[in-house]
Amino acid sequence: MGKVNTSFFQKVYEVVYQIPFGRVSTYGAIAHFLGTSRGARMVGWAMNASHNITPQIPAHRVVNRVGLLSGKAQFSSPNLMQQLLENEGIKIKDDKILNFKQVFWDPSNELKAHNG
């Protein structure tokens, strides 16, 4: 209970919310975009608390640097994350995105001086 969204958390949610359909980003890429290159863990921590904020953000579009669905266990169902991603045309094998380089969406490259 209490404060569920800090300035940093809100920043993370803003970026994650901008991830387009059929694309994914990484904790490190988001952290780097926010200016905290080593704050990847904080992005993951923000994701952990994302279920407390509205509107619900596409947390399933955030994976680790190798395209592994490291946060799948935190979803309502252990296969929900993969299900959502596959529903967006993303191919997954053994909890890892196959066409990761193709669907990777880097906020530092897409939102550079173009954030509303």
Partner DNA sequence: AAGCTGACAGCAG
Partner DNA sequence: CCTGCTGCCAGCT
> Which spans of this chain sit near DNA (rule: CB under 7 A)?
2-3, 6, 8-9, 26-29, 31, 36, 38-45, 47-48, 50-51, 59-60, 62, 64-66, 70-71, 73-75, 81
If one counts every other C-beta atom within 10 angstroms of the C-beta of residue 69, the result is 22
Identify residue 70 by its one-letter amino acid code. Answer: S
Residue 62 in contact with residue 43, Cβ under 8 Å?
yes
Q: Which is nearer to DNA, 8 or 111 (CB)?
A: 8
* C-alpha span between 17 and 61 (Å, rounded): 9
Q: Which is nearer to DNA, 56 or 116 (CB)?
A: 56
CB of 39 to DNA, least distance (A): 5
CB of 25 to DNA, least distance (A): 9
Q: Which is nearer to DNA, 71 or 107 (CB)?
A: 71
CA neighbor of 104 nearest in space, from 75, 76, 62, 59: 62
CB of 113 to DNA, least distance (A): 22
Length of the chain: 116
